[in-house]
Amino acid sequence: MESNFFWHTQTTEQAFAGLKSQPSGLSQAEVTERTLQYGANEIQAAKRISAWEILLDQFKNILILILLGATAISLFLGHGIESIAIAVIVLFAVLLGFIQEYRAERAIEALRQMAAPTASVLRDGMEVKIPAALARRAASIIPAVLVPLTILLKISSSPLSNSLTPPAFS
């Protein structure tokens, strides 16, 4: 297939031909064959960041580094109270940043685990529900797996016209 192939300009038949598919969907044998041919194309889960990494990342902040430098200079000049005050501010900033980032990472992880959607695909002419991860993998290999063949939109104008009954569609 050409790299400048525009799917939106193709007829349904041309799209099916380009995808080597058919209106009844792929057969299970074809799905298996394409999976073997193209391999798994899954989105890799992000590496879990440990609490230590999050804590150490707080010290990469330029403001924290400047304050640590100010603490060292203040201590070197004999201003013990000032250096303690700056160190407490640094500790507070690092602790606050760590808590916020740690909670955000755990919330994102919890959301990933909660979201286990399914997708409807056509297999041998029958609609089948499969895990969305498999559908994403299939869609990246075969763009039309998740594309509806026909979308029928029926819009009721009754709320707009204040009529009590919606119009009948044929």
The structure tokens 């194309």 sit at: 41
pLDDT in tens, 99-147: 999 999 988 888 776 765 666 777 777 777 776 655 544 444 444 444 4
Q: How far apart are CA 161 and CA 22, in angstroms?
A: 42
The structure tokens 């797996």 sit at: 145
Name the more confident of 161 and 13. 13
Render 2-69 in DSSP notation, one character per residue: -TT--GGGS-HHHHHHHHT--TT-B-HHHHHHHHHHH---PPPPPPPPPHHHHHHHGGGSHHHHHHHH
Give whole-number Cα distances, 54 to 62, 94, 95, 97, in Å: 16, 10, 10, 9
Cβ(102)–Cβ(51) under 8 Å?
A: yes
Predicted confidence (pLDDT) at residue 79 exceeds the cutoff of 70: yes
> 164 by DSSP, 3-state: which?
coil
| pTM (two decimals) | 0.47
pLDDT in tens, 17-61: 888 888 777 777 887 888 788 765 455 666 788 999 999 999 999
Q: How far apart are CA 170 and CA 109, in angstroms?
A: 47
Q: Percentage of the chain surpassing pLDDT 90?
A: 32
pLDDT band for position 168 (50/70/90)? low
Render 148-163 in DSSP notation, one character per residue: -S--------HHHHT-
β-bridge pairing 126-131 and 118-123:
antiparallel
Give domain limits for the chain.
Answer: 51-114
Residue 145, amino acid:
V
